[in-house]
Amino acid sequence: MEQAGLVRSMARKDYTPDNSTCEGFFGRLKNEIFYGRSLRDVTVSPFIKKVAAYIRWYNEKRIKLSLGGRSPQDYRKSLGLVS
């Protein structure tokens, strides 16, 4: 892990709300793009592109009612957090 510059956990130590957010995202990702599909013939490059496209959609286009019917990106813009 250290040689690759990777971090094992996405959550701060002893702070479970971080982990539940990550778990929720990865659960949705698996349900929406992996389950029910065979990835047997998919190579690494198309797989990475598929996941990257999902993440872009998730952040930029996906509508959330809890954000007032806006995408996460639009919501952040409305708060002045991103340009």
CA torsion sign, 33 to 38 to 40 to 46? Answer: negative
pLDDT at 13 (0 to 100) = 67
- Rounded Cα distance between 75 and 81, Å, is 9
**Between 12 and 70, residue with greater pLDDT:** 70
Helices 44-60, 16-29: inter-axial angle, 10-degree rounding: 120
CA torsion sign, 6 to 12 to 14 to 16? Answer: negative
pLDDT at 83 (0 to 100) = 78
Ramachandran angles phi, psi of 64, nearest 5°: -120, 125
pLDDT, tens only, 17-75: 767 777 888 899 999 888 888 878 889 998 899 899 999 999 899 999 999 999 999 99
- Rounded Cα distance between 73 and 64, Å, is 11
